């Protein structure tokens, strides 16, 4: 029997149409080969990845490897962790914590409900930052420390304290300092959070921008990681989220994790997004899961 030509043609057209709409929903992207990262291992996933974790995991290890500080070939293996907390003499990050604390107290005087909102109804902020980002069922979205501060300011004080603003960063660094030393424990049991993790993971490997680089092009083994690139050496992404917001010495200001994403995006000649953009929230979830089990390490300086 002869095939029914019009029907075949119609079928071909329909499948072309389906292809066309799929392409419209998701633009063509190349991907950097995916590294094997198991979210359940948290920061221990760096073992078998960059394998630098043993050099910077503890105070004692950092002490032992202090000889590498300033050595252009070895220093990257310390993941800059010697710049956290009190490991360097008093740095302006400490000042920022004090300023954030004073700001929180001032806003709390205006309305005690602001502090209550920050603490999710609890009596203080102790240990709370270690569980962020988390899914808020009432808001129907993932909440970061920075977006939580923005939300509480808006709803309780009717004030804009936008993510990425100096005021938000100061409050965030104070908020997180109340968890300094507490191991990060992002809730992998939450389905919504894991969906966000998977989206963030995908973004990490997706090539974008004029250079067609992915985050992974610089931050996974076998890539530029560990090699000097225009005076800088990209390090492992494990435990990075633990020390943000950080005090950036070269510019004399705090920088949130999502502002750092924007800076890497500008280095890769990719459109920079604003703090709070859903793509950056997903990347923050991905990176914070890679810090699970590692202590919150603010204040820090970079």
By CB under 6 A, name the binding residues for ligand HEC: 80, 213, 215, 217-219, 224, 229, 232, 234-235, 240, 246, 257, 260-261, 264-265, 267-268, 283, 302
Say which residue the tokens 């950097």 belong to: 32
- Give me the residue whose beta carbon is nearest to ligand HEC: 215
Q: At closest approach, how far in Å is the CB of 286 from ligand HEC?
A: 8
Question: Which residues, other chains included, contact 302 with Cβ-Cβ below 8 Å and sequence gap of 6+?
Answer: 80, 83, 243, 246, 247, 248, 249, 255
d(CA 128, CA 145): 9
d(CA 83, CA 291): 17
Q: At closest approach, how far in Å is the CB of 297 from ligand HEC?
A: 10
Q: At closest approach, how far in Å is the CB of 276 from ligand HEC?
A: 15
CB contact at 8 A, 247 and 92: yes
Say which residue the tokens 């090539």 belong to: 207
Of 171 and 283, nearer to ligand HEC (C-beta) is 283
Number of other CB atoms surrounding residue 230 within 10 Å: 5
d(CA 43, CA 211): 29
What is the chain's alpha carbon radius of gyration, rounded to the nearest angstrom?
22
Of 100 and 200, nearer to ligand HEC (C-beta) is 200
- Where b means 16+ CB within 10 Å and e means fewer, 29-45 reads eeebeebebebebbbbb
Of 128 and 219, nearer to ligand HEC (C-beta) is 219
Of 156 and 291, nearer to ligand HEC (C-beta) is 291
Span between the terminal Cα atoms of the chain, in Å: 74
Of 174 and 213, nearer to ligand HEC (C-beta) is 213
Of 77 and 265, nearer to ligand HEC (C-beta) is 265
Q: At closest approach, how far in Å is the CB of 140 from ligand HEC?
A: 25
């Amino acid at each position: 029997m002869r095939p029914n030509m019009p029907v075949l043609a119609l079928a071909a057209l329909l499948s072309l149409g389906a292809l066309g709409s799929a392409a419209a929903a998701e633009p063509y992207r190349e991907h950097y080969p995916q590294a094997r990262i198991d979210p359940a291992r948290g920061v221990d996933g760096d073992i078998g990845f960059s394998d630098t974790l043993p050099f910077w995991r503890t105070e004692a290890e950092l002490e032992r490897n202090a000889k590498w500080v300033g050595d252009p070939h070895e220093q990257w293996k310390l993941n800059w962790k010697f710049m956290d907390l009190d490991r360097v003499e008093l740095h302006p990050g400490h000042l920022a914590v004090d300023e954030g604390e004073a700001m929180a107290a001032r806003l709390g005087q205006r309305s005690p409900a602001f502090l209550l909102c920050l603490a999710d109804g609890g009596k203080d902020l102790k240990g709370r930052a270690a569980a962020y980002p988390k899914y808020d069922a009432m808001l129907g979205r993932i909440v970061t420390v920075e977006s939580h501060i923005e939300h509480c300011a808006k709803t309780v004080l009717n004030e804009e304290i936008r993510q990425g603003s100096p005021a938000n960063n100061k409050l965030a660094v104070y908020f997180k300092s109340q968890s300094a030393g507490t191991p990060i424990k992002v809730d992998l049991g939450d389905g919504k959070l894991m969906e966000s993790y998977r989206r963030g993971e995908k973004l990490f490997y997706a090539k974008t921008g004029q250079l067609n680089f992915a985050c992974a092009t610089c931050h996974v083994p076998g890539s530029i990681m560990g090699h000097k690139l225009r005076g800088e050496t990209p390090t492992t992404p494990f435990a990075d989220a633990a020390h943000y917001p950080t005090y950036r010495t070269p510019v004399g200001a705090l920088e949130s994790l999502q502002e750092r994403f924007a800076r890497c995006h500008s280095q890769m000649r990719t459109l920079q997004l604003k703090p709070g953009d859903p793509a950056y929230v997903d990347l923050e979830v991905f990176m914070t899961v890679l810090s699970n089990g590692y202590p919150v390490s603010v204040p820090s300086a970079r």
